[in-house]
Chain A
């Protein structure tokens, strides 16, 4: 009897182990398949000329030069707007409001909802607000501003973490020395919270660069070299989408663009987790 129960138990253990290992094997295999397929098809296409020349013949030939410029400009607008707003909000939430104050609670709740809003809804909003109401039209500026709304929650959360990681002793000593809170913030807290800010910045950058749906109706499809921020410009992710869906024979260049995008994102996310793991921890420990 006891022996039978034991065997039964062993059987269940074995089944669980098999399930866990096969789930892991499945996930790993899918990942290798996906990445392997892209690298295999794309590697021979990536040359310096591909990265620097503008697309020709709807993207079937030529490179992604102007696309990379547009992507950089959109990203620049996005970060230029979201970093000051995000930093200010994070400082207010972490340093100037208590956790149970109404204002703090409302702001946090609203940011939680904002972080869950689907990207296509950001696209609708951007189209209605920035393109139509503010009259910016389909432009890099509209696209960047829409993305800025989108990355704010990530930026704020991570920066806030940075501030919360600064020991309370700093604030108390500064207060004891009679420093104003502005001085404390600028000279003590801000430098100590830089790692958190950087992690947020890098994560936000990753989210912005990966975005497609929010940009289709805000920054548009035009693949020429943009001449100003009010020109329409095609982001890299939209380029991949357009080549694979709307351009027959665009697969080769779509593969190459996809590899460029994936490598960019892996570099960005790698930097973020490296910063979070090493610098953030060491900073906090050594200070």
Chain B
């Protein structure tokens, strides 16, 4: 693999044929992202041309039928739900991984990891359904109306926790055993070892997990659509209903025409930009620039 990798010349014609075939296929796979961005931009172009970008932030409200396209309430919705869930899921996820490695007896660690894997495999629509029939009435009993930012945060937390926990688990596995033994030889207690030795050593993996979780929270659509109430407003408390960017697309795409449809593609572009920024951040971290 190493020695043959760059050598693409061969005396067999079939090899040349195969190589070109594979290249063709790989080009298809590699250009899908470009295709997606191109099509989003093409569909968004009409509204960007005669409305402009600034009006997406300065219009008085989101009433596409009347030509008003303010996306900021949805941006706030996405931001609050994402930040809230990441803040709760990060400690829970990392503690779960710490539990599997340093606290649990082996008889519990394995089943618990299995359980996290199972959680990771449950589809978003099922989380959303559970939130709708169990969580929303519960929150409604405490403080009406029920569908709210809080419900969204709880559901998103459950959904991104496995991502963070599994990534943290993997990065804790990669911490060299000598570090832990060295800490034990120095007489450090368990928590002191974890905090002072293990966490710094596993830092970049932990961060990557959080970033992956954030990406998942930003992009989540169905679950959040089912539990958040979908009122276009900037939330003033945890109990007020919100609408996120993703939910907005899913709700209005069915009947949107003309500029309205184009405006939804603009929000798709905004989502793509957020994800691209996250991928860049993850890349930056995994190249070891976050240490110390």
Contacts and interface: CB of A to CB of B under 8 A. Distances in A.
A258 B191 contact: no
Interface stretch (A13-21, A44-52, A60-68, A224-232): A13-21
Contact of A175 (B4, B6, B22): B4
A209 B22 CA distance: 28
Contacts of A210: 121-125
A217 B264 CA distance: 13
Q: What is the size category of the interface that chain A forms with chain B?
A: 35 or more
B273 to A, nearest CB: 11
A23 B103 contact: no
A170 B142 CA distance: 65
A20 B98 contact: yes
Interface residues of B, number: 91
A56 interface: no
A159 B29 CA distance: 14
Interface stretch (B52-60, B64-72, B126-134): B126-134
A91 to B, nearest CB: 6
B5 A118 contact: no
Interface string A139-177: 000000000010010001000000010001001100100
Contact of A273 (B117, B189, B276): B117
B2 interface: yes
Given A121-B272, A181-B12, A111 B43 contact: no
A23 B96 contact: yes
B25 A258 contact: no
A89 interface: yes
Listed residue (B123, B219, B226) with the most chain A CB atoms within 10 angstroms of its CB:
B123
Interface string B32-75: 11111001101100000000000000000000000000000000
A128 B39 contact: yes
Interface stretch (B172-180, B231-239, B246-254): B246-254
A123 B103 CA distance: 43
B1 A94 contact: yes
B117 A269 contact: yes
A201 interface: no
Nearest to B276: A113
Nearest to B211: A116
A206 B158 CA distance: 19
B128 A241 contact: yes
Given A124-B264, A210-B123, A86 B134 contact: no
Contacts of A128: 39-40, 42-43, 265
A interface majority secondary structure: helix
B10 A84 contact: no
Given A30-B158, A107-B29, A240 B126 contact: yes
A152 B29 CA distance: 7
A42 B2 CA distance: 54
B218 interface: yes
B26 A89 contact: yes
A182 B36 CA distance: 33
Nearest to B118: A266
Contacts of A191: none
Nearest to B30: A107
B118 A31 contact: yes
Interface string A81-121: 00011101101111111100101001100111110111111
Contact of A118 (B118, B218, B253): B218
Contacts of B265: 124, 128
Interface in B115-170: 115-130, 132-134, 158, 161
A182 B42 contact: no
Interface of A: 9, 12-13, 16-17, 19-21, 23-24, 26-28, 30-31, 33-34, 37-38, 84-86, 88-89, 91-98, 101, 103, 106-107, 110-114, 116-125, 127-129, 133, 149, 152, 156, 164, 168, 171-172, 175, 180-182, 185, 206, 209-213, 216-217, 237-238, 240-241, 244-245, 251, 254-255, 258, 261-262, 265-266, 268-269, 273
- Sorted nearest first, the 6 A-B pairs with minimum C-beta distance are A118-B219, A88-B25, A210-B123, A16-B191, A180-B12, A213-B221
Interface of B: 1-6, 8, 10, 12, 14-15, 17-19, 21-26, 28-36, 39-40, 42-43, 91-92, 95-96, 98-99, 103-104, 112, 115-130, 132-134, 158, 161, 189-192, 194, 215, 218-222, 225-226, 246, 249-250, 253-254, 264-265, 268, 271-272, 275-276, 278-279, 283
8 contacts: A16-B190, A96-B19, A101-B6, A118-B246, A124-B268, A125-B40, A127-B253, A212-B123
